A and B are shown apart, each in its own frame.
Chain A
Amino acid sequence: MEAFTQHIGTAAPLRRSNVDTDQIIPAVYLKRVTRTGFEDGLFAAWRNDPSFVLNQPEYDGVSVLVAGPDFGTGSSREHAVWALLDYGFRVVVSSRFGDIFRGNSGKAGLLAALVTQDVVEQLWTTIEADPGTKVTVDLENKTISAGDVSAPFEIDDYTRYRLLNGLDDVGITLSHADEIAAYEATRPSFKPATLPAKA
């Protein structure tokens, strides 16, 4: 996974609350068996609408999404994060995220930056006034700035540490293989196993 320290890019305002993962990527786009190529499914239902924000030429090439509260609620599909990444987003900003979405983001290298709704509103105003505004997201210092707006964002320390170092979860855990084996030795015999199969 690529390390994330600082990101500078333009942003799109998504003035909607409760954007669940079915809106981020509808189920019909989940059928791929590879890890990439999900950009077409991103906000698919809304992208047919010419007035949708990502269809505006001034928001071409954006890499930061500033969304309303409760972004990424609903289904656990990690494809929602992949679709955002495949489209080109590196950062999503909101005042509240779905739990699973936030977890999935950190693991795939998408920064979910939690700010107050006040900051979201300020960012919206700034971006809409000038869509070319560069947004700087500094993970080292946990700050986000754009034009006159400068604010701290929240992210849990562990996710931040991993993003900063580009660490992969499985590798970290396998370094504790001895402890896993020791735990397994203590599991009671009544715990079920799927094999051999019984019917």
Chain B
Amino acid sequence: MGRTLSEKVWDAHVVRHADGEPDLLYIDLHLVHEVTSPQAFDGLRLAGRPVRRPDLTIATEDHNVPTYDVDKPIADPVSRTQVDTLRKNAEEFGIRIHTLGDPDQGVVHVIGPQLGLTQPGMTVVCGDSHTSTHGAFGAIAFGIGTSEVEHVLATQTLMQARPKTMAVTVDGVLPDGVSAKDLVLALIAKVGTGGGQGYIVEYRGEAIRALSMEARMTICNMSIEWGAKAGMIAPDETTFAYLQDKPHAPQGVDWEAAVEYWKSLATDEDATFDREVVLRAEDIAPFVTWGTNPGQGIPLSENVPSPDDFDNENDKVAAERALEYMGLTAGTPMREIHVDTVFLGSCTNGRIEDLRAAAGVLAGRKVAEGTRMLVVPGSGRVRLQAEAEGLDRIFKDAGAEWRGAGCSMCLGMNPDQLAPGERSASTSNRNFEGRQGKGGRTHLVSPLVAAATAVTGTLAAPADLPPVDVAVPENV
């Protein structure tokens, strides 16, 4: 019988299989950052173990670094300790590291792809749940905990039970103004935050094939938000074209051999999935969350739901709690919700295409009074590229803050945080209570909705804005 994409990649990495035990899986690339690694290195040191493959390991600092004044010492002592600890560990164990100010510093899931280190058919892990991002290349990529980080450092392998397989097929063509983010938020609202548990998901179908690599990363990035172990998209010409000129892409005959192998990874015609979900792209509209988990989302055109709209008792209670935390009243049109802060960035939507999309909306417009907007490129290189294209000027002219690379306001670990009660429209991936700062209220949105919201000061899509007459730079 045929095999699926994920089964092929899995099988190619099994070092050891024994019935009734998890497989011992080889790891091709291990990404390391400052928050989930110190105790892992500590463990190695205690046991007197080396890093087995420093040449398959790369580190960067992203979660708790500031995104301004990056040439000054980090003010927060604990953050500074973590960053210093990573730098010392990288040196001691011989690991490549990209530190603040380096073009390849940035959110760890932006770095792997931009260096061409993320390739089809690989296994990629990182002590961060959004490692699923790398699945966009047809890799099996998933987040691990710190003791697994230690395990991979010491052995370059992981013990893993084989997950089940699921297909999410998106037929048709996405309407204008509807992006990958809307698609994945709509999917999560449909299947629920636990809907993917135990599965590696393959996203497929016409609408997925039509997406750029960066949009595919947005989709795969959010796989964990509906509980999936990993999300993948079969590599195709879009993937190969994206990789071709990346620094670590295979060269010459290696490239030929690699492409041939990558083409063999697609799910066989006669393969079967354990579960299938089908969505129609035409049905999807700009989508935003109203609650405190990514599954609590609705189309922007709708009203805040009431707990009574839910049949299931747990959902009812969750909705009640969420509305209270979010300070929302059932029945309020989503478009009337005032937003204090707009955050454009993160490993979900902090790449160059995301910045271009938002800049296209902001060109010739201003951020509303009473609203602030933070634009945080996913990496130093994204920042440089945006500046070369003049996007930074569009953001600054509109009154947005143009920052250095990092996780920033995606999570409340660095100086970029929401104040209690402050409300954001955020292109990140989690709207959990307190995620962006204690008491902060998060609405997850696409870059297009983020930009339009910044202009109106209330949740909005670009189509809601009166037209402006400006020359928009190329690419935008």
Please report A residues at the B interface, Cβ cutoff 8 Å: 17-18, 20, 22-23, 26-28, 30-35, 45, 68-70, 73-79, 81, 96, 98-100, 103-104, 107-108, 156-158, 169-170, 172-174, 176-177, 179-180, 183-184, 187-195, 197-199
Question: Residue on A with the closest CB to B28?
Answer: A191
Smallest CB separation, A185 vs chain B (Å):
11
Smallest CB separation, B153 vs chain A (Å):
9
Would you call B383 an interface residue if the criterion is a C-beta within 8 Å of the partner chain's C-beta atoms? Answer: no
Name 10 A/B residue pairs within 8 A (Cβ), A-sorted.
Answer: A22-B435, A31-B82, A78-B145, A98-B227, A103-B148, A107-B148, A169-B159, A174-B155, A189-B257, A192-B117
Interchain CA distance A17-B312 in the complex, whole Å: 13
Would you call B330 an interface residue if the criterion is a C-beta within 8 Å of the partner chain's C-beta atoms? Answer: no
Would you call B133 an interface residue if the criterion is a C-beta within 8 Å of the partner chain's C-beta atoms? Answer: no
Assess the A192–B119 pair: CB atoms within 8 A. yes
Smallest CB separation, B247 vs chain A (Å):
4
Given A45-B438, A176-B15, A70 contacting B194 (CB threshold 8 A): yes
Interface size on B, residues (CB 8 A): 83
Assess the A193–B82 pair: CB atoms within 8 A. no
Question: Residue on A with the closest CB to B417?
Answer: A28
Interchain CA distance A95-B174 in the complex, whole Å: 38
Assess the A190–B194 pair: CB atoms within 8 A. no
Contact residues in A for B250 (Cβ distance below 8 Å): 190, 192
Would you call B151 an interface residue if the criterion is a C-beta within 8 Å of the partner chain's C-beta atoms? Answer: yes
Given A98-B227, A170-B47, A35 contacting B104 (CB threshold 8 A): no
Given A31-B82, A170-B155, A199 contacting B104 (CB threshold 8 A): yes
Smallest CB separation, A21 vs chain B (Å):
9
Contact residues in B for A172 (Cβ distance below 8 Å): 159
Question: Residue on B with the closest CB to A36?
Answer: B39
Question: Residue on B with the closest CB to A78?
Answer: B145
Closest 5 CB pairs of A and B: A78-B145, A31-B78, A33-B38, A76-B143, A104-B145
Given A26-B434, A76-B129, A179-B16, A18 contacting B293 (CB threshold 8 A): yes
Would you call B371 an interface residue if the criterion is a C-beta within 8 Å of the partner chain's C-beta atoms? Answer: no
Contact residues in A for B438 (Cβ distance below 8 Å): 26, 28, 45
Contact residues in B for A23 (Cβ distance below 8 Å): 432-434
Smallest CB separation, B433 vs chain A (Å):
7
Smallest CB separation, A70 vs chain B (Å):
6
Assess the A31–B39 pair: CB atoms within 8 A. no
Assess the B55–A45 pair: CB atoms within 8 A. no
Would you call B116 an interface residue if the criterion is a C-beta within 8 Å of the partner chain's C-beta atoms? Answer: yes
Partner of A100, one of B35, B85, B143, B435: B143
Q: List 18 additional contacts besides A35-B39, A194-B248; criterion CB under 8 Å.
A: A30-B35, A33-B38, A33-B39, A69-B314, A74-B432, A100-B143, A103-B148, A107-B145, A169-B148, A169-B151, A169-B159, A170-B47, A170-B154, A174-B155, A176-B24, A180-B24, A193-B56, A194-B96
Interchain CA distance A135-B104 in the complex, whole Å: 52
Contact residues in B for A100 (Cβ distance below 8 Å): 129, 143-145
Assess the A22–B413 pair: CB atoms within 8 A. no
| Interfacial residues of chain B within 87-145, with CB under 8 A of chain A in the complex | 96, 103-104, 115-117, 119, 122, 127-129, 143-145
Question: Residue on B with the closest CB to A173?
Answer: B155
Smallest CB separation, B170 vs chain A (Å):
24
From B76, B198, B250, name the one whose CB has the most chain A CB atoms within 10 angstroms: B250
Smallest CB separation, A102 vs chain B (Å):
10
Assess the B161–A33 pair: CB atoms within 8 A. no
Assess the A176–B64 pair: CB atoms within 8 A. no
Contact residues in B for A26 (Cβ distance below 8 Å): 412, 434, 438
Assess the A22–B434 pair: CB atoms within 8 A. yes
Interchain CA distance A107-B435 in the complex, whole Å: 26
Would you call B329 an interface residue if the criterion is a C-beta within 8 Å of the partner chain's C-beta atoms? Answer: no
Question: Residue on A with the closest CB to B313?
Answer: A17
Assess the A179–B433 pair: CB atoms within 8 A. no
Smallest CB separation, A48 vs chain B (Å):
10
Interchain CA distance A34-B452 in the complex, whole Å: 44
Would you call B476 an interface residue if the criterion is a C-beta within 8 Å of the partner chain's C-beta atoms? Answer: no
Partner of B147, one of A108, A158, A199: A108
| Interfacial residues of chain B within 199-231, with CB under 8 A of chain A in the complex | 227, 229
Smallest CB separation, B390 vs chain A (Å):
24
Question: Residue on A with the closest CB to B30?
Answer: A194
Assess the B54–A195 pair: CB atoms within 8 A. yes
Contact bitstring B411-431, A, C-beta under 8 A = 1, else 0: 111000000000000000010
Contact residues in A for B35 (Cβ distance below 8 Å): 30-31, 77
Assess the B82–A107 pair: CB atoms within 8 A. no
